[in-house]
Chain A
Amino acid sequence: MERLGPRRAPLTWRVATVAEKRPETSNATTLVLDVPDWPGHLAGQHVDVRLTAEDGYRAERSYSIGSAPEDPRLSLTIERIEEGEVSPYLTDELRDGDQLELRGPIGGYFTWETGDGGPLLLLAGGSGLVPLMAMLRHRAAVTSTVEATVLVSARALDDVLYRDELAALDDDGVTVRYTLTREQPAGWTGWSGRVDTKMLRELGAEHAGVLRVFVCGPTGFVEHVADLLVQLGHDPHTIKTERFGPTGG
């Protein structure tokens, strides 16, 4: 459980510079950042981002790191929350070369390194995919052969983050499955609706005690999926969870 390295550095606010902005979906954007003296991170960790208005008012939000620890640049994928205080600024206003304050890396419970082993079962609701993608990118970066199965739950196919990259991983020892909860394209052969026990069984989730399970997404998604896993025989202590709540975006 003790992990030295990235966590030794004190948590200080740093000024990051936007190196690139990449649209992911109609309402999610990836910010690729240069962070001077970044101490390194583990897949699954997050950062706090702080915005300060001219009158001194501050707003702070947490965002999962999407990039692999091996990536020289830090990337965050921001889902735009309508009426949000922070996310519309990050997705709409920020330009290449702009700066923003962040601190991190933060967290140590919801993390995975290839040395932790597998097989991995990663269950993502919406933008809950971001920290799990960091795990998959880490796995790919070090050419790990740990088996990984990913279930992505999204409202519609166009809302799925990193689709092309996930498709490429699918040929590389990673099984990727989707369930679309609101809208399915014509000829859709994936799953539809909320995650259920049948889907989890097909993914091999009944092998409780063997799998390393990570669940990330909105609170309702995480509670629902974790409950199903417990019904399948998983010890709640072995299911690692991270919930995105009503933070006001």
Chain B
Amino acid sequence: MDPADMHTDGNAIAGLLQEVFVAEFTSMERTCQSCGDQSPAGAHRSYDGAGIVLRCPNCDDVALRIAELPDRLVLELRGAWIVRREG
């Protein structure tokens, strides 16, 4: 497989993350702790391995890690995320 096809983006994990946040995930704005870039979650690149890693679209630094284990879900967020939820 073409190495360029090895990742997707934040849209691909939006259902799972909406379970966590209740709020819509892909339009959440994040400011990167490394490069200062501000982009919505949907624009971040997503790498699927032992868990999922979301990376900054500008500098590739880690933005989010999530692992679904049999008895729990573990989420690590990096950078400044703004979560907006209605209601």
Q: Which residue numbers of A lie inside 8 Å of B, CB to CB?
A: 1-2, 4, 7-8, 10-11, 46, 48, 60, 62, 103-104, 106-110, 218-220, 223-224, 236-237, 240-247
Known: A7-B24, A46-B14, A245-B5. 4 other contacts (CB 8 A): A108-B26, A219-B6, A223-B4, A243-B11
Complex Cα spacing A241 to B11, Å: 9
Compute the total of residue contacts between A and B using a CB distance below 8 Å. Answer: 89
Complex Cα spacing A220 to B7, Å: 9
- Specify which chain A residues have a CB less than 8 angstroms from the CB of B42 in the assembled complex: 107-110, 240, 242
Rounded to whole Å, the gap between the CB of A115 and the closest CB of chain B is 16
Complex Cα spacing A218 to B1, Å: 12
Rounded to whole Å, the gap between the CB of A188 and the closest CB of chain B is 26
Q: For A10, A11, A237, A243, which residue has the most chain B Cβ atoms within 10 angstroms?
A: A243
Chain B's closest residue to A6 (CB) is B24
> What string of 1s and 0s marks CB contacts (under 8 Å) between B23-46 and chain A?
010110000000000111111001
Instruction: Please pick, from B8, B11, B22, the residue contacting A107 in the complex, using a CB distance under 8 A.
Output: B11
- How many chain B residues touch the partner (CB < 8 A)? 32
**Known pairs A219-B5, A220-B2; A243 contacts B12 (CB<8 A):** yes
Q: For A2, A241, A247, which residue has the most chain B Cβ atoms within 10 angstroms?
A: A241
In the assembled complex, B86 has its CB within 8 A of some CB on chain A: yes
- Specify which chain B residues have a CB less than 8 angstroms from the CB of A104 in the assembled complex: 15
Complex Cα spacing A104 to B19, Å: 11
Chain A's closest residue to B41 (CB) is A109
**Known pairs A4-B86, A242-B42; A220 contacts B15 (CB<8 A):** no
Complex Cα spacing A209 to B22, Å: 33
